[in-house]
Amino acid sequence: MSALVEVEGLVRRFENVRAVNGVSFALPTGQVAGLIGANGAGKTTAMRILATLDQPDAGCVRLGGVDIVEFPGRVRRRIGWMPDHFAPYKDVTVLDYLDFFGRACGLRGADLVRRRTEVVDFTEIGPLADRMMDKLSKGQTQRLCLARMLLGDPDFLILDEPAAGLDPKARLEFKNLVRLLRGQGKTMLISSHILSELGEMCDTLVFMDAGRVVHHGDTQSLQRHDHGSAGVVYDIAVDGPPAALLAWLAVRPGWKLVEERRDGARAEFAQLEPAAIAAELRRLTVDGVAVLEFRRAERRLEDAFVSLLREGRPPAPPGPVVAAPAGSEPPPLS
């Protein structure tokens, strides 16, 4: 599959801060990619550059082979941009809003009516057609924004925090719309702080930290890969109180308790060979622990993100060392 979007060595400085620092990745046509990072990681800056709304200090972005820094005007109509926040116009109905943006995209007459009807049908905002924009709920506004974005039929969609502030129902509807768009072959770059949802929606994930890409790969590989761990983590459920299991884990060599649970525990085993693991499971039952479930734990994206941040950070510069408080986490996700 050929790459629709190619980003190479993107750099954007704000005074002395490198908000984006040598970012490179490629998105094949029809791929849905998630952009993940903490506040200030450079996600929105990178997305704005990709949307031709900002200029990089260095680096290159190509959309379908056209350099968007050099020829922003030529690629703008191929880009759909949904910002993380925008306020609705006053005294403008939903239909008038779409009508305006349709005209702004160069549509007129029958073409405008046809395209407007298509996006209204797709986003199911027909019943809201005559309602004032500023009277819409957050979810309805997001659907309207999506409809607006699709009017020009762009092939590369950039969505900055599209699910932020949506209730669960609206979030589910939005996820379905993204699925449908993927079915239409649209290439999408989505940033979100709800990582589990990104995992469901996206083919690949781009993790950013301090302006750099710390990981780019598909969701499954990220969840399977145990960054920074020597062994493999297992979820073990037992019949009754987990005291016997915890005692067994404490004395058994190679095992390390990760998390104690009401019905068992999550523990890490140092060896990776399947035979060794099978032997351990047999030993566990022989030792009288009533095992109900024993399975390899799938890492949550949040955990993967946290460990990636820990791995990706450069070592602290020499000087006075300040110990981080126990259990401290990286900054909150945006």
Q: Which residues lie near other proteins (CB under 8 A)?
A: 14-15, 48, 51-55, 65-67, 69-72, 74, 76-77, 79-81, 83, 85-92, 95-96, 99-101, 103-106, 108-110, 112-114, 116-117, 120-121, 124, 126-127, 129-130, 148, 152
Minimum separation from the CB atom of position 106 to other proteins (A): 5
Cα(48)–Cα(160) distance, integer angstroms: 9
User: Quick one: 47 or 301, whose CB is closer to other proteins?
Assistant: 47
Given a contact cutoff of 8 angstroms between Cβ atoms, the answer to whether 314 and 21 are in contact is no
User: Quick one: 148 or 212, whose CB is closer to other proteins?
Assistant: 148
User: Quick one: 40 or 231, whose CB is closer to other proteins?
Assistant: 40
Minimum separation from the CB atom of position 17 to other proteins (A): 10
Tokens of 192: 């979100």
Cα(176)–Cα(256) distance, integer angstroms: 40
DSSP-assigned states of every residue in 102-136: HHHTT--HHHHHHHHHHHHHHHT-GGGTTSBGGGS
Minimum separation from the CB atom of position 73 to other proteins (A): 8
Cα(39)–Cα(279) distance, integer angstroms: 45
Task: Please write down the HEC assignment for all residues of 257-279.
Answer: EEEEECCEEEEEECCCCHHHHHH
User: Quick one: 95 or 232, whose CB is closer to other proteins?
Assistant: 95
User: Quick one: 75 or 297, whose CB is closer to other proteins?
Assistant: 75
Minimum separation from the CB atom of position 104 to other proteins (A): 4
Minimum separation from the CB atom of position 12 to other proteins (A): 11
DSSP state letter for 322: -
